């Protein structure tokens, strides 16, 4: 059987939109990278019939089916019972799982006494391979010798538990049991051009490519990601096509190869021993968060001031109150003083400042919702630009963030070339 | 037909995990709230056969099918052609759409000249109802008089465009064409207790409930959300059950009814004319972001300092360098000085400070990865607590954020009661 896979999430919370389905995305990335073709993702409710329908539909049709969710200690969690029944198996106590649960509960509560619910999490279907969960109480399960050619895996729905069991057990299992060829794609981050103008520019190049290399365009606020599946091993023709693409993209290409634009900035900062910080009004800490969510950020990210009020702009960033009165908080003067003030106060080489009207309220005739000033300070030089984004708050925050990061990359790489 | 719905996303980018499927979550929330039962969500690739399979499978079986994705101007977008073919229709030029596209392109580029790709976005299937898109170039489409009882809707994949068309066209259409009863749920945010201990505490109460009111438990880092579907209209028995639940949850209940804990804090701040700010080390701006992502935050959120370096702790927050030397950056002394310093510098009444080792590097024997100090300053009083969270960076950031918000809520509500 070809290494095809289906990812299934179980839980009403996804069908009513209460939570994001981040598990499916994470698993899809992992399965793709090791060589699986994820054909479909499905979300269904905590409903025995729906689970059974999926089991029937997928058996002997796909190589691998991964379920997440429905393994908790509470009454709404039914996945383990449904699987036990469908595989004509029965629940038995697993002593290793029991020991692990006892240990987890002791670490959390200081007591060795388990309540019935935690105890019952150590009951597992007799026919499955049990996957120990060292970061939670629900074990994972692999059903691979249960009467059909499809391998079924059941994992908890809590994201960090699911990830831990995948990385510590499932990955190894599938690599040993399937013929897999690792796969990846090349990714190009393109800014400062519209999607249709970009497609127009690349038209001739795109027509010259074989079908399997046709690029996919992923537009988001102010940024287009261009994706091309990379042959394994890489051929000379492919390498030449990419070189031509890089040439066509020119200055609009801001990062590539699975690196985000922030990663490109981080690479430049580390290589040149430089540090960065942010002074954010309308982006509210979003730019800082994109830097600090990466491990190792403390080597180049000094810190940030979220300046929602004039007090903060004046006291922490040294913005002049006359400038606030004369030009308003959303102005070139204030954006520049914020950037310079942050660089001075935090001793960083580069400072990003944003000030704007995110909306939905706060707009005026002169400065409607979506008006944003962005200033980039780079060791004594300052670059400022005004933008008119959208009427939607979330779009304004996202576009301001993306644009500020893009401008930082552009001015920083120019600066370093000097 | 019962108001059942299926949400389908089209795009390889979801199947390889390149992007999160945020569209499905958003649509699921909206459809649930107006009265649809979302039975399933499916993600498939940019593959004509898969789209046709879904069309065949769903016709006359579900009331509504919403597709998102595959409507862009580039070659990888095929949804419109597939739908046109499946409905035995043909593409015709829609003058209103063409005018809208021309207008959009003019606003973006200053030119009235369309390239072929943008022009072709004005071609629509003859049999559909066209939904004008005033925030992008791809129109939406409703197929409701095309030979079967299922209503098919096709929307662009760019989230803000999809949302705009839903809110301005689709919502009105489905409300006029289906018998819908609005539905909602009651949501209880519970902290400071484990999932199994909570289920244990609620056991007797839960057993007394009819099946349709059985609560669902949604655990995340340090927070459990308890969800119960609310009958419409509310009955007295239901109201009594909730009152009993509230009583059982006691101090562990930190917010309820679709409000997040931040919303509860915001409500307390606004009612008492108080302001808040954050001084964040290990949470890197995440707490600020949870406040500032909500419209109206500028009424109570003063600002934030992300203090990744000692420079920033000293210069912006007034932390003493002797304290950093003597106790280290991750210490009660530094956490408290950060909170007090922020409150002083930004003139805010309440300050939240975090300092910890998020990991994966930076741990020591005394202060392993996961060690976090949280201090909450409230008008002259200070409350500090040390936590030992996880070995995983993302869990440490999330648990620190959730716990800091929980402690803020707890101490603030106690303070106000005084």
A345 close contact with B: CB closer than 8 A: yes
Decide: A331 and A310 in contact? Cβ < 8 Å: no
Decide: B50 and B44 in contact? Cβ < 8 Å: yes
Contact A17 B29 (CB under 8 A): yes
CB atoms near residue B107 (< 10 Å):
9
Q: pLDDT averaged over chain B?
A: 91
Decide: A28 and A7 in contact? Cβ < 8 Å: yes
B356 close contact with A: CB closer than 8 A: no
Q: Is the dihedral of CA A100, A102, A106, A109 positive or negative?
A: positive
Residue whose structure tokens are 């930076």: B362
What would the mean pLDDT of A278-300 be, rounded to a whole number? 91
Q: What is the DSSP string of A228-243?
A: EEEPSSPPHHHHHHHH
pLDDT band at A258 (very low <50, low <70, confident <90, very high): low
User: Which ranges constitute the DSSP H helices of B113-227?
Assistant: 116-120, 159-165, 171-177, 195-207
Helix (H, G, I), strand (E, B) or coil at B146: coil
pLDDT band at B160 (very low <50, low <70, confident <90, very high): confident
pLDDT at res. B342:
96
Question: From the centroid of its chain, how far is CA B23?
Answer: 11
Using a CB-CB cut-off of 8 Å, the residues of chain A touching B346 are 309, 311-312, 315-316
Contact B76 A215 (CB under 8 A): yes
Residue whose structure tokens are 């394994």: A232
Of B123-127, B160-164, B388-392, the range with the lowest mean pLDDT is B388-392
Decide: A295 and A301 in contact? Cβ < 8 Å: no
Residue whose structure tokens are 């049999």: B127
Q: Is the pLDDT of residue A254 over 80?
A: yes
Q: Which of A30, A38, A316 sits opposite B305 (nearest CB)?
A: A316
B186, B211, B242, B244 from B236: Cα distances, Å: 15, 17, 10, 12
Length of chain B: 418
Q: Is the pLDDT of residue B149 over 70?
A: yes
Backbone φ, ψ for residue A76 (5° rounding): -80, -5
Q: pLDDT averaged over chain A?
A: 91
Q: Is the pLDDT of residue A147 over 80?
A: no
**Cα–Cα nearest to A345, from A400, A284, A279, A392:** A279
A46 close contact with B: CB closer than 8 A: yes
Maximum distance among all Cα pairs of chain B, rounded to whole angstroms: 78
Q: What is the DSSP string of B169-181?
A: IIHHHHHHHS---
Q: Which of A31, A197, A393 sits opposite B295 (nearest CB)?
A: A393
The interface pTM score, or ipTM, of the predicted complex is: 0.79
Using a CB-CB cut-off of 8 Å, the residues of chain B touching A44 are 39-40
Using a CB-CB cut-off of 8 Å, the residues of chain B touching A19 are 25, 218
pLDDT at res. B391:
80
pLDDT at res. A334:
97
Task: Extract the tokens encoding A315.
Answer: 């006291």
Q: Is the pLDDT of residue A324 over 80?
A: yes
CB atoms near residue B46 (< 10 Å):
21
Strands (E), B211-258: 216-220, 223-230, 253-256
Question: From the centroid of its chain, how far is CA B132?
Answer: 26
pLDDT band at A393 (very low <50, low <70, confident <90, very high): confident
Q: Is the pLDDT of residue B177 over 90?
A: yes
Using one digit for the tens of pLDDT, what is the confidence trace for B314-326? 999 999 999 999 9
CB atoms near residue B251 (< 10 Å):
11
**Cα–Cα nearest to B352, from B417, B412, B263, B292:** B412
Whole-angstrom distance, CA of residue B96 vs CA of residue B222? 52
Using one digit for the tens of pLDDT, what is the confidence trace for B245-302? 999 999 888 888 756 888 889 999 999 999 999 999 999 999 998 898 888 888 999 9
pLDDT at res. B258:
58
**Cα–Cα nearest to B47, from A211, A353, A165:** A211
Pick the residue with more confidence: A391 or B337?
A: B337
CB atoms near residue A266 (< 10 Å):
20
Helix (H, G, I), strand (E, B) or coil at B140: strand
Using one digit for the tens of pLDDT, what is the confidence trace for A65-117? 999 998 887 777 789 999 999 999 999 999 999 999 998 888 777 788 888 88
């Amino acid at each position: 059987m070809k290494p095809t896979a289906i990812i299934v999430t179980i839980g009403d919370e996804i069908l009513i939109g209460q939570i994001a389905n981040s598990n499916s995305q994470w698993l899809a990335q992992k399965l793709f990278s090791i060589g699986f073709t994820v054909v479909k993702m499905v979300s269904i409710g905590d409903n025995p019939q729906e689970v059974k329908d999926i089991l029937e539909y997928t058996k002997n049709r796909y190589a691998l089916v991964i379920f997440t969710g429905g393994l908790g200690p509470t009454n709404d969690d039914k996945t383990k019972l449904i699987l036990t029944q469908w595989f004509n198996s029965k629940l038995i106590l697993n002593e290793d799982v029991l020991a692990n649960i006892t240990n987890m509960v002791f670490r959390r509560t200081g007591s060795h006494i388990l309540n019935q619910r935690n105890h019952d999490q150590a009951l597992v279907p007799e026919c499955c391979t049990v996957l120990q969960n060292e970061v939670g109480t629900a074990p994972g399960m692999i059903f691979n010798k249960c009467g059909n050619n499809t391998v079924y895996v059941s994992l908890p729905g809590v994201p960090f538990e699911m990830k831990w069991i995948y990385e510590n057990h499932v990955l190894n299992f599938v690599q040993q049991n399937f013929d897999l060829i690792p796969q990846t794609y090349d990714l190009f981050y393109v800014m400062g051009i519209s999607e249709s103008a970009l497609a127009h520019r690349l038209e001739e190049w795109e027509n010259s490519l074989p079908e399997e290399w046709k690029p996919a365009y992923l537009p988001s606020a102010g940024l287009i990601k261009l994706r091309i599946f990379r042959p394994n091993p890489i051929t000379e023709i492919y390498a030449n096509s990419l070189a031509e693409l890089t040439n066509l993209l020119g200055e609009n290409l801001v990062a590539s190869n699975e690196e985000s634009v922030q990663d490109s900035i981080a690479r430049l900062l580390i290589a040149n021993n430089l540090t960065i910080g942010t002074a954010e009004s309308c982006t509210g800490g979003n730019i800082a968060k994109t830097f600090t969510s990466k491990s190792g950020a403390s080597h180049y990210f000094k810190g940030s001031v979220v300046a929602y009020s004039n007090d903060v702009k004046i006291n922490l960033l040294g913005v002049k109150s006359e400038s606030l009165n004369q030009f308003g908080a959303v102005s070139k003067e204030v954006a520049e003083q914020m950037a310079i003030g942050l660089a001075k106060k935090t001793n960083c080489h580069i400072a990003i400042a944003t000030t704007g009207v995110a909306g939905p309220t706060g707009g005026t005739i002169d400065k409607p919702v979506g008006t944003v000033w962005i200033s980039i300070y780079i060791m004594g030089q300052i670059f400022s630009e005004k933008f008119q984004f959208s009427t939607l708050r979330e779009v304004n925050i996202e576009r301001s963030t993306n644009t500020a990061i893009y401008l930082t990359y552009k001015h920083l790489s120019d600066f370093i070339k000097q």
